[in-house]
Amino acid sequence: MMRLLSLSLCGVCLLALAASPLQNRVGAPLPPDALSVEKQVIRILFPGNEPRTLDATLDNYGSGRVEFLFDRLTMLDEDERLLPGVAESWKASPDGKAWTFRLRADARWSDGRPVTAQDFEWTYKTLLEPSIGNVYAFLFYEIKGARAFNLDKSKDPKTVGVRAVDERTFVIETEKPCPYLPYLTSYLSAAPIPRWQYEKYGKSWATAAHIVTNGAYRVAAWVAGQRMTFARNPRYGGPYPGLLERVELSFMTTGGVLAYENNEIDILHGVLPGDLQHVISDSRLKRDLVTWPHTQTQYLFFQTQRPPFDDVLVRQAIAGAIDRETLCRVVRNGLGIPAYTMLPPGFPGYSGDRLSGIQAYAPDRARRRLAEAGYPGGRGFPKMPLWIGQGDPAGRDLAQALQGMLQENLGIRVDIQPQEGTVYMTRLYQHAIPMGIGGFQSDYPDPHNLLAMVWRSQPKGHGRHDWINSDFDRLVDTADFEMDPAKRMRLYSEAEEILATDTGGVFLFHTVLAQLRQPRVRGFVTNKRGFRPFWTNHITHTRLYMGR
């Protein structure tokens, strides 16, 4: 009898074991259709986007891969809603000028040290340190004393309004009420830096040999010019452990579609407009193609403080001479939405429908504007250089289309001048590009990011453009610190109307992103707009797994 009971109990144990869900090596349950743990490896290609460093404070855009490595205080989901990161909670003071973040007790660095409020205090002060030359420090100028310290007007880092109350309590004070402050803490540039590694290795702390992380993954290998491999961080105990065992990122400038067709990668990020016809003509590739509207705007900008672009009539003429529908349909092969304002559809504060007529394609009106400026039929208008970055393979096609439209509709001639990325960005912030194609993707879902941060007048070295409009500045300055959401959006809408009318920039299109995804890659979430985005500033990567 005892033997039968023992056998029966063993059978129950085996049944329970068989029914238990498959788990990865950190105990996260895998979905029923997941492949075995050892096959939870994903290969992703981000063409031409190898970072200079994994320190996001020094390479704000190129270091997008830190998404796999670092948890910030807050995080974003696929609908760009704020989620807990290292901070389990946060709240504003009654006057809206101080935010208190409570850190998780189990937050750990990959070397086992606890992640503390002191780590974040040191990180924020370091990224504002003027001697580092961080050109993206302006992202955090809302912090009390940050602008003065970064511009070297204050020598004392203690004047910066960030402080650790204790190991788990971190406070950020702002100059004025700042309703979007928690969004700033979600951005990649706000990733914490391990002070002891930085003090030991300097800027090389963020190399594969020395980097210490606080996210679900750590750097396993980095072969310059080829690939980077992330493996699990066994000490991670946070809310986003991820399901993948390993992530392999490839860096190639060409041949991405071919690599996908040859099954060398599982996700190709950023299918180019020039490759789209081939993709949609192939039944398998068309099946694997996923597109979604991205919160990025491409535009023309000018040196508005110098002739001939100091004349608003010239800028308005150029705005009306560009057929955006053709740009999106023909040049972009559908990977674009015509833009007449800075904020894209679906973005908080979007007013594009109301304001679309200001910069609408109207070649007759454009010619009249140019004649009023003293250049009838383009006569007497100097041949202008049109700067584009070499890093955008689709940039030349866009530039050539604009070149043709300006010649045909206005008689204006432009000379396309591709520039190396570092040269382009340096000259951009020095306000030294006569005319160029630029773009800005949102860092967080608030109009401050796309309006005030890009277009609010700033001195050379601290702002992208030299356009100055005191009414625009006043409106965004007021909106930035307005705690009433409805009033904020009205102020931003008024400011954007001024931006479009005074033609601080000529808006071209809002980007539509395209990816090729192997069917075995699962876990993508459909957001509230009906799309399945995969962008590196969000937690999407923590949901992905390899399925059957």
> In Å, how far from its chain's centre is CA 148?
26
Does residue 442 carry a pLDDT above 60? yes
CA dist 319 and 362 (Å) reads 9
Give, in order, the Cα–Cα distances in Å from 224 to each of 41, 49, 51: 21, 12, 10
Q: Classify burial at 15, counting beta carbons within 10 Å of its beta carbon; exposed 0-12, middle 13-18, buried 19 or more.
A: exposed
* Parallel/antiparallel/unpaired status of strands 87-92 and 98-103: antiparallel
- Is it the case that residue 2 has pLDDT exceeding 70? no
* 3-state DSSP assignment of residue 511: strand
Domain ranges of the chain: 70-200, 295-511
The predicted model gives 34-63 an average pLDDT of 82
Lowest mean pLDDT among 36-50, 69-83, 150-164, 325-339: 36-50
State the fold for domain 295-511.
Answer: Dipeptide-binding Protein; domain 3 (3.10.105)
Residues in a beta bridge with 230: 219, 247
| Separation CA 279–CA 281 (nearest Å) | 5
Q: What is the pLDDT of residue 62?
A: 60
CB 224 within 8 A of CB 207: no
Q: Which tens digits make up the pLDDT trace of 261-289? A: 999 999 999 898 999 999 999 999 999 99
pLDDT tens per residue across span 3-16: 333 333 344 333 33
In angstroms, how far is CA 181 from the centroid of its own chain?
17
What is the pLDDT confidence band of residue 24, given thresholds at 50, 70 and 90? confident
Torsion of CA 371, 374, 378, 381, to 10 degrees: -160
Lowest mean pLDDT among 170-174, 361-365, 471-475, 483-487: 483-487
In CATH, the architecture of 70-200 is Alpha-Beta Complex (3.90)
pLDDT, tens digit, 9 for 90 and up, residues 378-405: 999 999 999 998 867 789 999 999 999 9
